[in-house]
Structures are given as C-alpha cells and as structure tokens.
C-alpha cells in the first residue's frame, strides 16, 4: 500500500511538473550587463528540491520567471549527498530549501513563501 501511494504521489507530481513546464511564464528582461550582474549574484545560491513537489515547482517557476541561473539540487534520493547535506545543515529534509552562501556564511531558507519573497525582493 505504501509503495502504491508513493508511486501515485510521484506520478501526480510528474504530471504537475509537466503542466508547469508547458505553461509559459513571462520572463523578466534585463540588459546584458544587468543580467551578468544578476548571474554573478545567484552563482552562490542553490535550490534543494524534489522534482514533483508542488511547492518546489512553485519556487522553480519564480526562478524561471525572474530569469535566474540558480542550480537545483535533487534532495529526493534517500541515499543522496544533497539530501544528507540538507538534513545535516537544517535537521530536516523539508523542500524547497534555498541555500545562500556568502563567503563563510551559509543561510538555509526553508519556507516557500520566504524563498519567493527573497527572490522577488533581490531580483524582481
């Protein structure tokens, strides 16, 4: 039963991700120099996520709309290094999670609304 539920959830997540990918977003347009500046600012930002998670899809859509180059990390694999890193740093495997590295300081943002507000404020 547990395996059936997991398969259903993953299948539904894949359908939602496909629909999200098919629905276009109106990307923010920036000049070349401004886009390079934004790319430089986002070079140390990573999104830890599960592919079919609706909250992760919502965060990825904002990233796509804001035209940001943020690396995504697959934290779904139970044996994966990114999941282990997320668990070690935050004590949770909650996704989406935004990892912001600024020199020696690392900030982990765990709430979807907080992640979206941060991205909108800094890059919107």
What CATH number did the domain enclosing 15 receive? 3.40.30.10
pLDDT for position 8:
64
Residue-range definition of the domain harbouring residue 11: 1-123
Listed residue (10, 93, 103, 28) closest to 66, CA to CA: 28
Query: What is the tally of structural domains in the chain?
Result: 1
pLDDT at residue number 81: 94
Backbone angles phi, psi at 25, to 5 degrees: -115, 150
- Cβ atoms 97, 47 nearer than 8 A: yes
> Using CB atoms within 10 A of its CB, is residue 39 exposed (0-12), middle (13-18) or buried (19+)?
middle
Do residues 123 and 29 make contact, with C-beta atoms less than 8 angstroms apart? Answer: no
- 8 Å CB contact between 74 and 37: no
33-60 per-position pLDDT tens digit:
999 999 999 999 999 999 888 999 999 9
pLDDT in tens, the chain (124 residues): 767 776 766 776 677 677 767 777 788 888 899 999 999 999 999 999 998 889 999 999 999 999 999 999 999 888 899 999 999 999 999 999 999 999 999 999 999 999 999 999 999 8
Model pTM above 0.85 = no
């Amino acid at each position: 039963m547990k395996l059936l539920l997991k398969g259903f959830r993953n299948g539904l997540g894949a359908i939602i991700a496909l629909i999200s990918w098919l629905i276009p977003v109106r990307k923010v347009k920036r000049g070349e120099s401004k886009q390079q500046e934004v790319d430089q600012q986002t070079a140390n930002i990573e999104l830890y996520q599960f592919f079919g998670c609706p909250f992760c899809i919502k965060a990825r859509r904002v990233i796509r709309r804001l035209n940001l180059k943020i690396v995504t990390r697959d934290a779904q694999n139970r044996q994966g290094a990114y999941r282990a890193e997320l668990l070690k740093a935050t004590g949770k495997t909650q996704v989406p999670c935004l990892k912001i590295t600024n020199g020696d300081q690392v900030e982990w943002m765990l709430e979807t609304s907080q992640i979206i507000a941060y991205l909108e404020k800094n890059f919107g």
